[in-house]
C-alpha cells in the first residue's frame, strides 16, 4: 500500500458537516490504479476532513483493507476487468464497511453487477466533488444510525433485529448489504406507507442522488431475491404500480413499553 503525500496537507474543506476538522470524518481507503484519478479522489476526501489511504494495486488491496481498517472504501471498477467486482465481493464477505464504486460508465448492467457483489453506491465519472462527498457522508451516516422504529420486528416468517442489523428466517440468517438493510429498514419503519422511488433514493442514498432511480429498482430486486420465498410473487416488498413500493401486510411490532416518566392517573 502507498501513502499519498498530498493527502497529508491541511486544507479548507470543500464539503463537510459544520465544525468538521481535517481527519475527524473517518478513514477512507481508495483503491485506484490510475495515479491522476486517485490523487483527485484523495485530495477531495482530505479537503473534507477524511484521513485517506491509497492502494494503487488491486493485487494487494485486501492487505491494505486489513491494515487500514477503513470506515469507507472507494473502489475503482474498470470496464472489461473483473478485479473491482472481485475485490468488492471479497470485502463484503469480510465486512459491512460501506463500499462506493466509481467507474467510467453507468449502464444498468454495470449497476446490477456492482450491487450484486455488495456495493452500496455507484458513481460514473466525471462527477463533481460536492456530489461525491455528499454521497460519502450519506454512506457513513447510514452506518452510524440504524433505521428508526421498533428494535425487533416480526414480519411473516422473518425476524428483523434493527440494532444488530440482522434478518433471520427461522434459524437461517439472511445476509443483507448495508444498503439493502437500509432500504428494508426504511419500509419497516413506516408500515402502511408507500414510498416513491425518488423518496427511497433520497432517504437511503442521500439527497445528492438526483434522478437515477435505477439504484432503487436494482437493489429492490436484490432484496426481494433474498427475503421473499418467491420473488416473482412478493408478499413482503410490494410494488405500488406507477408509484413505488410499500411493505406488505402482517407486520407484528413488539408491544410498546409504558413510559415510566409519566405518572399514572
Cell output for 165: 442489523
- Is the per-residue pLDDT at 31 higher than 80? yes
Mean of pLDDT values over 97-110: 84
At 100 the three-state DSSP class reads: strand
Cell output for 181: 438493510
Q: Show me where the domains of the chain are located.
A: 5-144, 152-252
- Is the per-residue pLDDT at 264 higher than 70? no
Of 80 and 46, which is predicted with more confidence?
46
Which residues, in sequence order, are CB contacts of 208 under 8 Å at separation 6+? 130, 131, 134, 135, 138
Q: If one looks up domain 152-252 in CATH, what number appears?
A: 1.10.10.10
Q: Do domains 5-144 and 152-252 have the same CATH topology?
A: no
Encode pLDDT of 127-139 as tens digits.
899 989 988 888 8
- Is the per-residue pLDDT at 77 higher than 90? no
Q: Do residues 126 and 11 lie in contact, with contact meaning Cβ atoms separated by under 8 Å?
A: no
- Band (18; pLDDT cuts 50, 70, 90): very low
Entry pTM: 0.61
* pLDDT at residue 156, rounded to an integer: 79
**CA–centroid distance for 243 within its chain:** 23
- Which burial class, exposed, middle or buried, applies to 169 when counting CB atoms under 10 A from its CB (0-12, 13-18, 19+)? middle
CA distances, 156 to each of 48, 189, 227, 247 (Å): 44, 16, 11, 11
Mean of pLDDT values over 180-196: 86
Mean of pLDDT values over 181-201: 86
* pLDDT at residue 211, rounded to an integer: 59
Cell output for 159: 425476524
Which superfamily, per CATH, for 5-144? Answer: Response regulator (3.40.50.2300)
Calculate what percentage of the chain has a pLDDT beyond 70: 77
**CA–centroid distance for 24 within its chain:** 20
- Band (11; pLDDT cuts 50, 70, 90): very low
Neighbours of 118 (CB within 10 A): 24
Mean of pLDDT values over 66-76: 90
- Chain-wide mean pLDDT for the chain? 78
Amino acid at each position: 500500500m502507498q501513502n499519498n503525500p498530498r493527502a497529508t496537507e491541511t486544507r479548507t474543506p470543500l464539503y463537510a458537516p459544520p465544525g468538521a476538522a481535517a481527519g475527524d470524518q473517518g478513514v477512507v481507503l481508495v483503491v485506484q490504479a490510475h495515479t491522476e484519478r486517485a490523487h483527485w479522489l484523495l485530495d477531495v476526501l482530505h479537503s473534507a476532513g477524511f484521513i485517506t489511504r491509497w492502494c494503487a494495486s488491486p493485487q494487494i488491496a485486501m492487505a491494505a483493507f486489513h491494515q487500514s481498517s477503513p470506515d469507507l472504501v472507494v473502489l475503482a471498477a474498470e470496464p472489461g476487468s473483473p478485479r473491482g467486482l472481485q475485490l468488492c465481493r471479497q470485502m463484503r464477505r469480510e465486512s459491512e464497511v460501506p463500499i462506493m464504486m466509481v467507474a467510467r460508465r453507468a449502464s444498468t448492467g454495470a449497476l446490477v453487477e456492482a450491487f450484486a457483489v455488495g456495493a452500496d453506491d455507484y458513481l460514473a465519472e466525471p462527477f463533481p466533488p460536492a456530489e461525491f462527498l455528499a454521497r460519502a457522508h450519506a454512506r457513513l451516516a447510514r452506518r452510524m444510525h440504524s433505521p428508526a422504529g421498533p428494535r425487533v420486528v416480526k414480519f411473516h416468517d422473518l425476524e428483523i433485529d434493527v440494532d444488530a442489523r440482522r434478518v433471520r428466517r427461522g434459524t437461517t440468517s439472511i445476509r443483507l448489504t448495508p444498503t439493502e438493510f437500509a432500504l428494508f429498514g426504511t419500509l419497516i419503519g413506516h408500515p402502511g406507507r408507500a414510498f416513491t422511488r425518488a423518496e427511497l433514493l433520497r432517504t437511503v442514498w442521500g439527497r445528492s442522488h438526483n434522478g437515477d432511480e435505477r439504484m432503487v429498482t436494482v437493489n429492490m430486486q436484490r432484496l426481494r431475491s433474498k427475503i421473499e420465498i418467491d420473488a416473482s410473487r412478493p408478499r413482503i416488498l410490494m410494488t405500488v404500480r406507477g408509484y413505488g413500493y410499500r411493505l406488505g401486510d402482517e407486520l407484528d411490532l413488539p408491544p410498546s413499553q409504558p413510559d415510566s416518566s409519566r405518572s399514572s392517573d
